[in-house]
Amino acid sequence: MTIRHRSLPRPTMGLAATAGLIAATVAVSPAVSAASLVPTGHGDHRATTLVPIGGGYEADTEQQLVTIAERTASGPTLDILVVPSSYGDAPEDREANLEQAQLRTDELDTNCEAVIDHSRFTNCTATLLVLLDRADAENPVNSTAFDNPAVDVGFVLGGDQVLAMQVLANTPAEAAMARAHARGVVISGTSAGNAVESRTMITGYTTDGQPWTGLQKDSVTIGWGDDLASDDRGLTFGSGRAIFDQHFYQRGRFGRLLNITAQSVDRYGHGGKIGLGSDYATAPVVVDDRQVTSMIGESSATVLNFDTATRPRWVGADATLSTRNVLTHLIAPGTSTGYDLVHRRIELSGRPVSTPRPTSLPTLRTAGRATVLLGGGGNDAADSAVLKSFVKAAKGSRVVVLTAGYPSATAAEQAGDLYRSALTGAGWPGAVSVLVQGRDRIDATAVRNAAGVIVVGDDQSLMPAAVADRGFADAVRSAVRTTPAVLTDGAATAAMAERYEAVPNPTSDNYEDEGIRYFRTDAQQFRPGLGIVQGVTLEPWLTYNYRWGLLFGSAAHRSVALGVSEQTAIRLHDNASAVVGARSVVSVDGRQGRFDTAPNGAITAVNAYLSTFAGGDRLR
């Protein structure tokens, strides 16, 4: 599987025409108890509530938002004000933007009417405020509705959070929203409307930044919110304790939030801020900026806490994040899990859970003489540091390339040819033989006296046939025992462990849906591996194919999962393991964690430890 160049967001099925938001194929959570969702104030204090939704306009999620709001609503109607400031302020688009925003407002009204308690409320009213450009926001008439005591919810639409804050920051509109929030009006929003609800606001990626470079320091942009006179921030009343991210699993943003949360450690000292990433159609209920009391929606959210982590280091020319033991939790709707933002601890049924001490990772070794490189995929290029490391370790005159897990022999042959060409470009002077599993005879004799062996796999769902092929398995084991160098890449790396996730590669139109699905229990498809590397599971194409959820699915079995990014490898030599290549290796240690399945099928996790390793780092 060769690296493909693509822009983001990727097109997927169900693209909503103007808003560009994806309808994710995840199970809908059951109805949530209103009593479990609603904040209660302390004494005369009326609780403030933020409900930052990770993306989309799903009816079920909006209806659960209404359930939260109606418990503190003033009546006799439930009144929602809709803020469209993230849509853009170009005059030529104004009419179309207002029309689209009105459609979203009408949807909110319909979804509210579907669940409102008509014994208490006569009806819902959802009203669109004309706050598209700076002039709109500067005119108090356009936001005076927020001062009406009857208002119950403010909802910020999705779009571009940078534009939203350029419109709203330091205007009468922002001040009116702040007053409403302070007196108990629920403030919610989706996508960009999520981002603006934390004062430190993620503003996006740099020109060259992408999800697969998200762990590189300079790939992301942030408005820290320290200067409230600036518009490079979230709302003044947004969370000061947490940094929100959205479309979190859907668009592979785990690396981005780790990066920004780590930078907050550098900026503010020990622990920094809490990272809180919400997936599509999912939101935490954040009360008084003190407590995540519950979750609503279809997927889950991730909490990242650097209190237990080593001080972040930024390694190499790309300043890649290197840190150990970030305390990580996955919180889903329909569970008794909450999070205390003040004391920075997870809670089950209102009781704090103790934090276990992190332990060392298992020592990786193989029973053989070969220098083994466990590649994450995409190392079929002459400039690959991983391939160059293989060439340096190979001793002799002939390299053998074994290909497996391809949809056809032709595709497997073509992949082998790419590695043959790349080897020449990387300085290999000798011969290269390509053998296709299922077509050619492959056994231990095929690799005898080889200078090195490259084992390439395409699709993990197609690897079981290769693992079960006794000749192929013998060839790989013999290569590790007897040859100077072995490189596995892509799906072949996954199969080197005792077991692996036999999930298919995402296609060009389902990356985002699969990114969400990987965080579900029913997405995990384990198969026996070759058992050459023990004590861990291995997940290639981690960052490019949004496979973060598969790490947690593996770690849920009280084990350690290692994710290897593309153009990167774990190098095993002399009982030591280290990272080689352009990007990262990530470990999720679930040995002391608590894992379960939420009613909506999402994996939940308490006290998993996540570490990131950059080029040159040893795994320990």
Amino acid at 41: G
Say which residues have a Cβ less than 8 Å from residue 329's Cβ, sequence separation at least 6. Answer: 302, 303, 305, 337, 339, 346, 605, 606, 607, 608
Distances (CA, A) of 618 to 90, 363, 568: 51, 11, 14
pLDDT at position 45, please?
Answer: 61
CB crowding 443-475: b at 16 or more within 10 Å, else e: ebebbeebbbbbbbbbbbebbbebbebeebbbb
**What is the share, in percent, of the chain residues with pLDDT greater than 90?**
90
pLDDT in tens, 53-65: 999 999 999 999 9
Cα–Cα distance list, 604 to 272, 279, 352, 597, 601 (Å): 24, 13, 16, 6, 9
User: Is the pLDDT assigned to residue 6 strictly greater than 60?
Assistant: no
Query: How large is the average pLDDT for residues 130-156?
Result: 98
Helices (H) and strands (E) in the chain, counts: 15, 31
Give me the chain's average pLDDT, please. 93
Neighbours of 409 (CB within 10 A): 14
Band of the pLDDT at 563, cuts 50, 70, 90? very high
Q: Tell me, what's the pLDDT at 75?
A: 85
Q: Kindly give the pairing relationship between strand 452-457 and strand 485-490.
A: parallel
Q: What pLDDT was estimated at residue 367?
A: 84
Give the per-residue SS3 of 341-410: CCCCEEEECCEECCCCCCCCCCCCCCCCCCEEEEECCCCCCCCCHHHHHHHHHCCCCEEEEEEECCCCHH
Read off φ and ψ for residue 532, nearest 5 degrees.
-75, -35
17: Cβ–Cβ under 8 A, 6 or more apart, which residues?
none
> How would residue 28 be classed by pLDDT, with cut points 50, 70 and 90?
very low
Sign of CA dihedral 86, 90, 94, 97: negative
pLDDT of residue 105: 98
Residue 225 has pLDDT above 70, yes or no: yes
pLDDT greater than 60 at residue 26: no
Please write the tens of the pLDDT for every residue from 538-551. 999 999 999 999 99
Structure tokens at 80: 């929602």
Percent of the chain predicted with pLDDT > 70: 93
The pLDDT of residue 14 is above 70:
no
Q: Average pLDDT in the 287-311 region?
A: 98
Task: Give residues with Cβ within 8 angstroms of 164, minimum separation 6.
Answer: 85, 86, 156, 192, 193, 196
User: What domains lie within the chain, and their CATH numbers?
Assistant: 46-191 (3.40.50.880), 198-359+592-620 (3.40.50.880), 371-591 (3.40.50.880)
> What tokens were used for 605?
């996790």
**Can you give the pLDDT at residue 74?**
86
CA distances from 226 to 200, 233, 234 (A): 8, 8, 10
| Segment holding 133, helix H or strand E | none
Q: By three-state DSSP, how is residue 1 classified?
A: coil
Task: Break the chain down into helix, strand, coil percent, rounded to 5.
Answer: 30, 30, 45
